[in-house]
Amino acid sequence: MNQALKLTMKAINHQLLFILLCIFTLATEAANKISFDRITELESGNLKIVFHLDKVALINSYALDDPSRIVIDLKNTSIKEPIESKFFAPIKLIRANEVGNSVRVVLDLKGSVYWKKPWQVKHKDRVDLILEIKRDRKISNNLRDIIVAIDAGHGGRDPGAVGKNLLEKDVTLLISKELERTLKNTRGYMPIMIRPDDRYLNLDDRYQNARKLSADLFVSIHADAFSLSSVKGASVYVWSEEASSITAETLSKSKLSSSPEVKSKIGKLDIRDFDEDAARTLYQIAYEAKIDNSVILAEKILEQLKRDPYTKMHKPNVEFADFRVLKSVDIPSVLIESGFISNPDDAKRLAGKPGRRMIARSVFLGIHNYFKEKPKPNTFMTSLPKYIEYEIQKGDVISEIAIRFGVTIDEIINWNNLKNKSIYPGQIIQITI
The site for Zn ion (CB under 5 A) is made up of 153, 160, 222
CB of 272 within 8 A of CB of 54? Answer: yes
Residue-wise burial string across 347-364, b where 16 or more C-beta atoms lie within 10 A, e elsewhere: bebbbeeebbbbbbbbbb
Minimum CB distance to Zn ion, residue 286 (Å): 27
| Residues 6+ positions from 180 with CB-CB distance below 8 Å | 150, 191, 193
Say if residue 344 is preceded by a cis peptide, omega within 30 of 0.
Answer: no
d(CA 229, CA 328): 33
Minimum CB distance to Zn ion, residue 307 (Å): 24
Name which of 158 and 411 has its Cβ closer to Zn ion. Answer: 158
Packing angle between helix 398-405 and helix 353-373, nearest 10 degrees? Answer: 50
Helix (H, G, I), strand (E, B) or coil at 326: helix
CB of 308 within 8 A of CB of 192? Answer: no
d(CA 191, CA 186): 10
- Could you tell me the sign of the dihedral formed by the alpha carbons of 363, 368, 372, 378, in that order? positive
Name which of 173 and 381 has its Cβ closer to Zn ion. Answer: 173
Minimum CB distance to Zn ion, residue 159 (Å): 10
Minimum CB distance to Zn ion, residue 177 (Å): 17
Starting at the earlier edge strand, list the strands of the sheet with 69-74: 59-64, 69-74, 102-109, 91-99, 84-85
Name which of 57 and 225 has its Cβ closer to Zn ion. Answer: 225
Minimum CB distance to Zn ion, residue 222 (Å): 4
Name which of 173 and 412 has its Cβ closer to Zn ion. Answer: 173
Name which of 58 and 341 has its Cβ closer to Zn ion. Answer: 341
| Residues 6+ positions from 39 with CB-CB distance below 8 Å | 47, 48, 49, 50, 87, 91
Minimum CB distance to Zn ion, residue 393 (Å): 30
Minimum CB distance to Zn ion, residue 346 (Å): 14
CA distances from 345 to 251, 311, 349 (A): 36, 10, 6
Name the closest residue to Zn ion (Cβ). Answer: 222
Minimum CB distance to Zn ion, residue 311 (Å): 17
Name which of 207 and 287 has its Cβ closer to Zn ion. Answer: 207
Name which of 173 and 388 has its Cβ closer to Zn ion. Answer: 173
Minimum CB distance to Zn ion, residue 248 (Å): 20
Minimum CB distance to Zn ion, residue 326 (Å): 13
Beta pairing class for 235-239 and 333-340: antiparallel
CA distances from 372 to 264, 333, 415 (A): 44, 17, 20
d(CA 237, CA 297): 10
H helices of 165-320, in order, are: 168-184, 203-212, 241-254, 260-268, 276-282, 284-307
